[in-house]
Amino acid sequence: MNFPVRLAFRHVFSNKTRNGLTILAITIAVFLLCFLLAVVRGIDAGVRSASSTRLVTQSAVSLFVTLPMSYRPKIDAQEAVTVASEFRWFGGYYQDPSNFFPQFAVNKDRFVDMYVKDFEIIEGPNGITGPGARDAVKKAFATEKRAAIIGMGLRDDEKYNFQIGDTVPIIPAIYQRADGGAWDYVIVGIFKPLKARIPDKIMYFRSDYLNDSIESGEAFGEVAAGVYYVNIDQGSQAEMIATSIDQDFLNGPQRTQTVTEAAFASFFVSAIGNLPLFLGTVGGAVLFSIFFSVVNAMLIAGRQRLKEAGILQALGFPPITSCLLLIIEGLAVALIGGALGLALAISTQDLVVLNFGDSIRNYEIDSGLILLAIGTSSVLGITAGLCAGIPFLRYRPTEALRSLG
């Protein structure tokens, strides 16, 4: 091994307490940075993966005000609209309120075709899989009034373990049944999400099942559509179409607000405050404070190396050698800490997904984050080493030799 590298590494391991604590601090900082950025990127991934050829039409008053079913033909009639489906939040739970996952009431004839690019049907009725599964599920969804299509997470999670053909009782939080019981849904299809914004623990069922039950008095509530998801032609002007839809309903009974799917997804993120900015700021603050701690540790190391710098200069090494030694030492300490923090983030990834996957979607320590962690650690170490090493360039060998280092 090259002499400066070997000497620098000897120093790293010679002061085990100080460097150990510095490495621990960097480990925690890098872990937190990876964790927080993975959460932020997960949120962003949901927004980024939103379709550019899909609009969402909601009430101009509030998202919680539902649009009438009668709006769909007018939306369909818009130029460049290929298909539109009602989307209504159900908000029930399975057996216990803690077993919550999103459920939406959607159009029985249109929903499956609307999401061709968003999810892949992996299992249908009678165990059918592969390319034929989508048509089989589409058919079953149109035939069975209580039909439901679920994400694969509800099949794979032992807590739910829903299988094709299962009748799943969902206890309503909004639309109570007159008999006080649960809504029964029959699983006819299981899909795998192809876009980050679609969770794998979600259920879609037929809106006519909900509306007909309300209309017949079997359940309480209002016959309505909720919002409309609207697919438009590729290459069409989304903003012009959105304006056109909203103008159609300017005179009511409900005024509408139509936005792109990305804008709609952003609304949910911003509804809980600017979470990415907040988390990013916390991560940055942690890193910033750790930076000063590492610089401080390296300055102490530098002070202890002053005599060594004098010895090396007396032996004929240029002053830059001592500076370089501190940079290598800082880099080594930071990279060891960074690698441990990264290893911690990667090794706990499954644990985070398992325990918080429903809240923190798309959590992943990907290659971009790995590179960022390595880069950040390197910059941290080099900068700290430079802060400690640069003063060495000014010292005369006689001054350095006189120090107690």
Site for another protein in 382-401 (CB under 8 A): 396-398, 401
At closest approach, how far in Å is the CB of 343 from another protein? Answer: 27
Q: Which is nearer to another protein, 91 or 405 (CB)?
A: 405
Q: Minimal distance in Å, beta carbon 401 to another protein?
A: 8
288 binds another protein (CB under 8 A): no
Binding characters for another protein, 299-338, by CB under 8 A (x = yes): --------xx--xxxxxxxxx-------------------
In one-letter notation, the amino acid at residue 381 is: G
Nearer to another protein, 123 or 308 (CB): 308
Instruction: State the pairing for strand pair 167-170/183-193.
Output: antiparallel
**Interface stretch with another protein, choices 8-16, 60-68, 147-155, 267-275 (CB under 8 A):** 8-16
* Smallest distance, another protein to C-beta of residue 314, A: 5
- Nearest approach, Cβ of 395 to another protein (angstroms)? 11
195 near another protein (CB under 8 A): no
Based on CB atoms, which residue is closest to another protein, 250 or 394?
A: 394
Distance of closest approach, residue 336 Cβ to another protein, in angstroms: 17
Binding mask 216-245 for another protein (x = CB under 8 A): ------------------------------
Nearer to another protein, 20 or 42 (CB): 20
The footprint of another protein on residues 13-72 (CB under 8 A) is: 14
Q: Minimum CB separation from another protein for residue 389, in Å?
A: 16
Q: Which residues bind another protein (CB under 8 A)?
A: 3, 7, 10-11, 14, 307-308, 311-319, 396-398, 401
